[in-house]
A and B are shown apart, each in its own frame.
Chain A
Amino acid sequence: MTVLDVQDLQTHFFTDAGVVKAVDGVSFSLDAGEVLGLVGESGSGKSVTGFSILRLVDPPGRVVGGRILFRGQDLAQLSNREMRGLRGNRIAMIFQDPMMTLNPVLRIETQMVEAVRAHERVSPAAARDRAVQALARVGIPSPAERLEAYPHQFSGGMRQRVAIAIALLNGPDLIVADEPTTALDVTIQSQILAEVQELARETGTALIWITHDLAVVAGLADRISVMYAGRIVESGPTDAVLTAPGHPYTEGLLGSIPGHGRRGERLTQIPGMAPNMANLPEGCAFAPRCPRASDSCRVTAPQITGAGPGRSLRCHHPGVTAEGAA
C-alpha cells in the first residue's frame, strides 16, 4: 500500500535576496514498511522536503506547488487542526540534533506523556505506561526510572533514542528522520540504525531517512533518492544506485567515501561548491561542477527519464543507460 505519494513538490523561500527554490519539483512515493534514503549535500533541499511533508516549513518558506498524498489524502487540503492530528500521530519526525530537540526544562515523562495525550484520550498512567514501553523498545535501560530524568541527564545517543521513542509512541505510518545519527559517534550510529531498521520492519512503518552520508543509507534504505539543488537527480533501488550510479553527482558522492580496499588511493572529490540557491545557473544546476557537462547542459535543464527498473535520472549524459541498468 502506498503510504506517501509526493508529486512535483515545490517549496520556495521568499527572502530579501530573491526567491529560493529550496525544493523544486520533487516526486517520490513510499510503500508501507519501505525505507527511502534521501541523500544530498547541505542545502540541497532534503530537510525542507521533510518539513514540507509535515507542513512545518517556517516562514519565509512556503509550499507553492505539487501535492503530498498521505494514504490517499491531500495534506494541503487539511485544516491546521486536522494536520496537527496527524503530526506525531500518523506522521512522526526525528530531528538532527538530539541536544536541541528535547525541551531542556521539562522531564522526559512530561514530553512523552503529552505526545500521547495530544492524540488520544488516555489516562496519564496509561500514557506513562506506553512511554515506558517505547523507551524500553529503543534500548534505554530501566526506562521507568529514566522517565523522571531531564534531557541533560542523558548522553547524546540516549537523547536521540528518547526522540525516536517519542516518534514511535503513537505507532505512526510514516517517520521522517532528518539526519538523526549525524550528531552521534559511529558506534552509536550503527546501533541506532540497526534498531530503527528492525522497528520499521516490525511495525510496518515507512521511513524517510534524510542524510548526507551514503554509507548510512547503504545498509538501511530500500531505495535511494539523491537530491541536488532542490531536485531529485537520481533515484532507484539502493544496490543498483550504489553499484552503478547513473548521475555524475551520485558518482562523485560515492567516490568521496573512504572505504575498504581503497587504502592509499586518492579520494576523489566533487570540484566546486554547492550552488547558491538564490541564483541557480541556467540549465542543469550541477553543470558547473560536472565532469561530463556539455554545452547543452548549460542551456537546458535535463528532464526526469526512466533508467531501468525502478530507476530514474535527471541527466543529459547518464553513466548508465536503460539497458545497462539491469
Chain B
Amino acid sequence: MLVFLLRRLAQSVFVMAAMMVVVFFGVYMIGNPVDILISPDATPAEIDETMARFGFDQPVYVQFLKFVGNALQGDLGRSFVHGEPAVQLIISYMPATLELAALGLIFSVLIGVPLGVYAGYKADRWQGRAIMTGSIFGFSLPNFWVGMLLILIFAVELQWLPSTGRGDTVEVLGMRLSIFTADGLQHMLLPALTLALYKASLVTRLARAGTQEALVQDYVKFARAKGLSETRILFVHVLKNIMIPIITVLGLELGSMIAFAVVTETVFAWPGMGKLLIDSILTLDRPVIVSYLMLTVIIFIIINFAVDVIYTLLDPRVRVKGGAA
C-alpha cells in the first residue's frame, strides 16, 4: 500500500511539473499581458515600468526559472489583475464550485443509476428503449442550451426558481456555502441539474450495460432460486456488482465538473472557479491560469485516489492484494 502511494505521488509530481511547463510557455506565447493590463494611452515609460515590475522585460527562461524557484517555495505568484496571491484567489472561488459539483454528482447518481438499472432490466421492452432514447438527448444537448432552457421554463415562465447567483450562504468549516440554506439550495437546483444531465445519461448507459451483463450471471439466477424479490436482486445483488465502472467514470466526471464547469457557471452567473479560469485566460493572467491547472491536477489525483479506496469497499476481491488473505 505504501509503495502504491509513493508511486502515485511520484507520478503526480511529474504530471504537475509537465503541466507547469506546458501552460507557462503556452500562455507566454499567446500574448503580452501588459497590453491588456495597461490603458492604451499609457506612455512608453509607463509601459516599461510595468514590464519591469512584473518581470516581463526578462527573457522567458529567466521568468520561468524565477517562477519555478518561487513555486518550489510554495509561492505560485500573484494575479496580475487582482493583485492577490493566485492560489488564494482560486481557493476563494472554490467552495461555490465544489458544492455545485457535489450536488450535480448526487443528481446524476440519483437519476442515472435507477434509470439505468431499470433500463437494463427491461432492455427489450419499450420502457428500456424509451430510457435509452432519452439518454441520447442528455448526451447531445449542449450544456448552455439546456441551462438557458431551464431558466426559461423554471425561472421565467413558472417563476419557481431563481435564475442566477448563489443566494444566501452560510459559513461551514470556513467556507461560504449555499447548499445549507433554503434560498441557496434553490439557486443551486438549476445549475446542478444542468451539470447533472450529461453525467446522468452517461451513468444511465453504464448502469444499463452493467445490469444487462449481470442479469445473465449465475449468481442472479441463484438469487432467484432462493426466492428473493426482483427489487432485492436488482438493487443489492446486481447494483453492487456494477458500481465499479460507474464509480470510475463518475470520478473522472467529478474532476471535470469541478475544473471545467465553465459554461454552466457562466450561464447561471455562478461565481465559481470555472468563471475565474475563463476570465483569467481572457486577461492572460498567467499565475492564475498556471496555478489553476496545477490545482486541477491535484484534484484529479485526489479523486482518483478516492476512487481506488471506494473500489476496495465495493469489491472484496480487490482488498486481498494488500491484506493478509
Which A residues are closer than 8 A to B by beta carbons?
Answer: 54, 56, 58, 84-89, 92-93, 95, 97, 100-106, 110, 114-115, 118-119, 150, 152-153, 163, 166
Contact = CB atoms under 8 A, between A and B. Distances in A.
29 contacts: A88-B225, A88-B227, A89-B227, A92-B225, A92-B226, A95-B218, A95-B222, A95-B225, A97-B218, A100-B217, A100-B218, A101-B218, A101-B219, A101-B222, A102-B222, A103-B240, A104-B219, A104-B241, A105-B315, A105-B317, A106-B236, A106-B237, A110-B236, A114-B232, A114-B236, A115-B228, A118-B228, A118-B229, A166-B226
Given A104-B241, A105-B240, A106-B237, A93 B225 contact: yes
A56 B317 CA distance: 29
A178 to B, nearest CB: 10
Which among A89, A105, A118 has the greatest number of chain B C-beta atoms within 10 A?
A105
Interface string B194-225: 00000000000000000000001111011111
A105 B218 contact: no
Given A86-B227, A104-B241, A106-B236, A152 B316 contact: yes
A103 B315 contact: no
Contacts of B317: 104-105, 150, 152
Given A115-B227, A150-B316, A152-B316, A102 B221 contact: no
A89 B316 CA distance: 29
Contact of A84 (B218, B227, B237, B315): B227
A212 to B, nearest CB: 18
Contacts of A58: 216, 221
B42 interface: no
A153 B232 CA distance: 24
Contact of B241 (A87, A103, A114, A153): A103
A194 B236 CA distance: 34
B241 A105 contact: yes
Given A100-B219, A103-B219, A119 B227 contact: yes
Interface of B: 216-219, 221-229, 232, 236-237, 240-241, 314-317, 320, 325
B120 to A, nearest CB: 15
Contacts of A103: 219, 223, 237, 240-241
Interchain residue pairs A-B with the least CB separation, the first 7: A88-B227, A88-B226, A100-B218, A87-B227, A150-B316, A93-B225, A101-B222
Contact of A105 (B222, B314, B320, B325): B314
Contacts of B217: 100
Contact of B315 (A89, A104, A119): A104
A212 B217 CA distance: 22
A152 B320 contact: yes
B227 A105 contact: no
A87 B224 contact: yes
Contacts of A95: 218, 221-222, 225
A102 B228 contact: no
A153 B225 CA distance: 23
A88 B222 CA distance: 9
A106 B216 CA distance: 18
Contacts of A106: 236-237, 240
Contacts of A115: 226-228
A119 B227 CA distance: 8
Contacts of B225: 54, 56, 87-88, 92-93, 95
Given A56-B221, A95-B218, A97-B218, A105 B226 contact: no
Given A54-B225, A95-B225, A114-B226, 8 more contacts: A56-B221, A84-B227, A89-B227, A101-B219, A104-B219, A105-B241, A105-B315, A106-B237
B178 to A, nearest CB: 37
Contacts of A110: 236
B226 A118 contact: yes
A163 B222 contact: yes
A131 B258 CA distance: 47
A194 B216 CA distance: 32
A84 B229 contact: yes
A86 B316 CA distance: 31
A207 to B, nearest CB: 15
Nearest to A170: B227
A35 B18 CA distance: 71
B228 A114 contact: yes
A152 B315 CA distance: 11
Contacts of A93: 222, 225
Contacts of B316: 104-105, 150, 152
A297 B265 CA distance: 80
Contacts of B219: 100-104
Nearest to B325: A153
A78 to B, nearest CB: 12
Contacts of B229: 84, 118
